[in-house]
Structure 1
Amino acid sequence: MKNVLCYGFKKSLVESTRNKNIKLIQVIDDWDDPEFLPSPENHEMRIKVKDSTNDFFVLSSLMRNQAEDIDLVISPYEYTLVNVSIMAKLLSVDYILPNVAISFRDKIIQKTKLAGAVKLPKYTEYDEAFSFDDLKKLVGTPFVIKPNSGTGTIFTYKITDKKTFLEVKPKLDAMYNRFNTIIVESFVSGTEYYVDGWFSDYKLQQFIVSKYVTPLLNIYNGELTQGISLKKSEHEDLYNEVETILNSVMPTLDLGNSVFHLEFFLNENGEIVFSECAARLGGTLVEEKFKYNFDIDMNLVQLEPEKYKGSFKEISTNTGFSYLPSPTVIIELPSADYLKEKNKDLIAFEYEWECGMGIPDSNASTSSRIGRFIVKGKSEEETFFNLEKVVSDFKKFIIESGGSFEKESSNSRS
């Protein structure tokens, strides 16, 4: 039996490792909402710590629970990637080396290493002494400012003028004291894309290019995070360009055996501008997308990517993912079965909220969500229609059951 150390609870990973001769040792902290987790399955072991990003807390807890005999480690989430790489080194387990993990967490280091290998936005490290005019000279306007090692668009601001900058600056200065560094980048106008796949022995394996319905920053305007996978047969030039970029980015960052989630823009001139890349599965229900298209379990690929190899295959059907809109009042939630009865092309659905939790503000971050789902479609247009249909049915059920999406409402059952 293999002992797999996992930082954080992930439902689909528990399901993937069931009956696989794997013991899943999960480090849980308050971020996982432990009081709402289901009872552990037979192959699960949960170790509660105050903060899973504190290496002392984790290692001492492993020792107290006699759980130091680890064969594999995994970080399904962004914030613990470097901690897991350090722990793997301490436990003499093969994983991404700490300096490689840092290259995927620190956006300034990542872009500095990739300079000359891919087209990048202008960028600089923020300093409290910078004025709007200083930043304008360095990166131009508009520009985006965000934590250098953040995730989920949290604390990300688009600055268009001096007035906007002065309104945001108190938040920036508070953020500056909270995070190690802040990055400022020139704003890229265009369409935002993402790529999911994996490398095995430094060779690119299966990957899928997808397009966000609207740029991620639009969540601050109330837009949902949504995306649609693209067929290579209909976007051959784009796929070929992306393959070239992947085969440049990963060797440069020394990622030989890992899943990845890379984001880029296609700007107004038709050029690919690199945004960022993570050495983990994306939060877009990647597992369900690959399972449906190729019968590949990406949770198992993430555990041992060097064991999974094969030639590129085209997707036969488009898939689309969406987060669910967050109500302000919840009386009752529609079941997955109810929504599937109304939507024959709904192929995966999950809630990440239940009664007793605070209702997440989906406009605050792309990691703040009440649930997610995946649909299929014969074309990109049909796939988008199916996404909107599920969202519409969800909202209609919430309202008809007495719930609300009105921002002024405050009496939520949370």
Structure 2
Amino acid sequence: MPQENTSVLHIGWMSRAVAALTRAGADVTCVLAPADLKDARAAHPRLRTVVVPDQTNVEGILSGLARASLDIGGFDAVCSGLEYCLAAAAVLSDLGGLTTSATRRAIAMRDKAVQKALVRAAGVATAECVTVDTLNEVSRRADRFPAVVKPLNGSGAQSTYRLERPESLDAYLDAWTGKGPWLVEEYISGDEFQVDGIVRDGEITLLSVSRYLENLIDIHDGGLVAHIALPPEYDPDLYEKIRLLAHSSLKALQHHDGVFHLEVFRRGDEIVFGECGGRVGGGRTDEVVRRSFGFDLHDEWVRALLGRPSAVTLAPEHTAGVVHGGMNLHAPHGRVLRAPAHDEVLARPGVVHAELRCVPGWTMPDVTAASHLRAGVVVLSGTDDREVEARMRDLADWYAGQVVVAPAGESGGR
């Protein structure tokens, strides 16, 4: 796979994406924010970096490249493994004459209104929705309640709320101060699933379907953020229905080569499209998929980006006799006085991988705001999904109970 002298501009700092590019033999330049420079230098001392105030701002990126005497047209590829940087990377790719439709595809994968219109036109079931310029329009534009209000290009359920009735809008206004516009959409009931995979030449070569323990939107009510990758043989009918939806959706979004991260709902016998991103899923989705199917999504993303053959030649089999899942660790909000150590977490039943943020002196954020706010992330295994779920719930309760935070009103920490 490695091929020397391929010049790649990566927008935003993401260590695993840069590492995958480097493994592929690419000469990487990374555009990043000042706060990321220290971590980037520590992880990749020889990485060429361009520091900009906002790594999602195209004008700022072009200015930074000019300051570094770099020309966008001098790169063989422009990309990003980060959700919020995808559109900027696509615009820069178009400016460099690298791909004629990159910007259109990136917008389709980011803007929820554009995305839903495209898949609906392709015959895929999805929520009815409308955009509003001001939040004051929500109550009169929502056809029925409950309804969902979200930013057009958000992620991780941040600022995404279910409004039970028109009066619920006041709480949303208090929680979100962004500028909009917003998407107001029909609330889809039913179980939510996370779908991750690889698509090459428009054909899905790897498909991983994970069931959420609780729907993501329930995070705002204290819901647990956790998913378990289901072996295909557990529910072949579910896998087939999701494969058909994913194929039609990716075709409508013109996402023919790369990786994808999709959210769907099962409403009775129907599978309903939620959202789709042309990236590796968050948390440690990559680790769950690797342990479940034996392939690295980041490496496959790089292969598609650089036009190299995929390592996945046939639909891979799920690891026999073992089921894996990923979960966010939650803890009380406040300045941390005591928290379990890494070795303690790894010693819990089923834990095979753990990354912890929560250490004494750190300020634990309010995890009900978004799915990326967490004490840490773990990957667990078990003989079946029920055992994994039981281990997840036990671990979540144990961990949260072990964390001690300072009484409300005390400040400090980092």
Same fold (TM over 0.5): yes
In structure 2, C-alpha distance between the alignment counterparts of 1:89 and 1:354, rounded to whole Å: 43
Q: 1:153 — aligned with what?
A: 157
How many residue pairs align between the two structures? 400
Q: 2:287 — aligned with what?
A: 288
Q: 2:132 — aligned with what?
A: 126
Match of 2:65 among 62, 67, 90: 62
CA contact under 8 A between 1:329 and 1:409: conserved in structure 2?
no
After superposition, where does 1:64-79 map in structure 2 within 5 Å?
A: 64-68=67-71, 69-79=74-84
Q: 1:211 — aligned with what?
A: 211
In structure 1, C-alpha distance between the alignment counterparts of 2:257 and 2:135, rounded to whole Å: 41
After superposition, where does 1:164-203 map in structure 2 within 5 Å?
A: 164-169=168-173, 174-175=177-178, 178-179=179-180, 181-203=181-203
Give, as a single letter, the amino acid of the residue that structure 1 aligns with 2:9. L
Kindly provide the CA deviation profile for residues 319-351 of structure 1, in whole angstroms up to 9, marking residues without a partner as x: 1111111342323443433322333x3222223
In structure 1, C-alpha distance between the alignment counterparts of 2:396 and 2:165, rounded to whole Å: 35
For 2:150, what is the secondary structure of its paired residue? strand
For 1:304, what is the secondary structure of its paired residue? helix
* TM-superposed deviation, 1:358: 4.6
* TM-superposed deviation, 1:127: 4.3
After superposition, where does 1:38-117 map in structure 2 within 5 Å?
A: 39-68=42-71, 69-94=74-99, 97-116=102-121, 117=123
TM-score calculated relative to the size of structure 2:
0.88
In the alignment, does 2:370 pair up with 1:341? no
Q: Relative to 1, partners in 2 of residues 1:391 and 1:200: Cα closer, same or farther, differing over 3 Å?
A: same
CA contact under 8 A between 1:22 and 1:43: conserved in structure 2?
no
Give, as a single letter, the amino acid of the residue that structure 2 aligns with 1:97. A
* TM-superposed deviation, 1:109: 1.0
Q: 2:405 — aligned with what?
A: 404
Q: Relative to 1, partners in 2 of residues 1:3 and 1:40: Cα closer, same or farther, differing over 3 Å?
A: farther
Q: Relative to 1, partners in 2 of residues 1:56 and 1:271: Cα closer, same or farther, differing over 3 Å?
A: same
Q: Relative to 1, partners in 2 of residues 1:266 and 1:375: Cα closer, same or farther, differing over 3 Å?
A: same
For 1:141, what is the secondary structure of its paired residue? coil
Q: Relative to 1, partners in 2 of residues 1:17 and 1:77: Cα closer, same or farther, differing over 3 Å?
A: closer
Q: 1:359 — aligned with what?
A: 364
RMSD: 2.6
Give, as a single letter, the amino acid of the residue that structure 2 aligns with 1:45. R
Q: 1:311 — aligned with what?
A: 314
Give, as a single letter, the amino acid of the residue that structure 2 aligns with 1:273. V
In structure 2, C-alpha distance between the alignment counterparts of 1:86 and 1:356, rounded to whole Å: 41
Q: Relative to 1, partners in 2 of residues 1:355 and 1:96: Cα closer, same or farther, differing over 3 Å?
A: farther
In structure 1, C-alpha distance between the alignment counterparts of 2:39 and 2:338, rounded to whole Å: 18
CA contact under 8 A between 1:73 and 1:303: conserved in structure 2?
no
CA contact under 8 A between 1:72 and 1:94: conserved in structure 2?
no
For 1:188, what is the secondary structure of its paired residue? coil
Q: 1:11 — aligned with what?
A: 15
Segment of structure 1 superposing worse, 74-83 or 85-94: 85-94
Kindly provide the CA deviation profile for residues 309-328 of structure 1, in whole angstroms up to 9, marking residues without a partner as x: 42112313221111111342
CA contact under 8 A between 1:326 and 1:405: conserved in structure 2?
no
Give, as a single letter, the amino acid of the residue that structure 2 aligns with 1:56. E
* TM-superposed deviation, 1:396: 4.6
CA contact under 8 A between 1:362 and 1:368: conserved in structure 2?
yes
Please list every run of 5 or more consecutive structure 1 residues that lacks an aligned counterpart in the other structure.
Answer: none
Kindly provide the CA deviation profile for residues 363-385 of structure 1, in whole angstroms up to 9, marking residues without a partner as x: 10112223211111111111112
For 1:331, what is the secondary structure of its paired residue? strand
Segment of structure 1 superposing worse, 18-27 or 55-64: 18-27
TM-score calculated relative to the size of structure 1:
0.88
In structure 2, C-alpha distance between the alignment counterparts of 1:341 and 1:19, rounded to whole Å: 32
* TM-superposed deviation, 1:45: 2.4
Kindly provide the CA deviation profile for residues 283-319 of structure 1, in whole angstroms up to 9, marking residues without a partner as x: 0312212221233221121122252142112313221
Segment of structure 1 superposing worse, 73-82 or 232-241: 73-82
Please list every run of 5 or more consecutive structure 2 residues that lacks an aligned counterpart in the other structure.
Answer: none
In structure 2, C-alpha distance between the alignment counterparts of 1:41 and 1:103, rounded to whole Å: 32
In structure 2, C-alpha distance between the alignment counterparts of 1:104 and 1:58, rounded to whole Å: 21
Q: Relative to 1, partners in 2 of residues 1:94 and 1:301: Cα closer, same or farther, differing over 3 Å?
A: farther
Give, as a single letter, the amino acid of the residue that structure 1 aligns with 2:355. E
Q: Relative to 1, partners in 2 of residues 1:76 and 1:370: Cα closer, same or farther, differing over 3 Å?
A: farther
In structure 2, C-alpha distance between the alignment counterparts of 1:312 and 1:395, rounded to whole Å: 39
CA contact under 8 A between 2:337 and 2:360: conserved in structure 1?
no
Give, as a single letter, the amino acid of the residue that structure 2 aligns with 1:151. S
Q: 2:331 — aligned with what?
A: 326
In the alignment, does 2:252 pair up with 1:252? yes
Q: 2:390 — aligned with what?
A: 385
In structure 2, C-alpha distance between the alignment counterparts of 1:288 and 1:405, rounded to whole Å: 33
* TM-superposed deviation, 1:182: 0.8
* TM-superposed deviation, 1:54: 1.6
Q: Relative to 1, partners in 2 of residues 1:169 and 1:135: Cα closer, same or farther, differing over 3 Å?
A: farther
In structure 1, C-alpha distance between the alignment counterparts of 2:57 and 2:167, rounded to whole Å: 39
CA contact under 8 A between 1:40 and 1:46: conserved in structure 2?
no
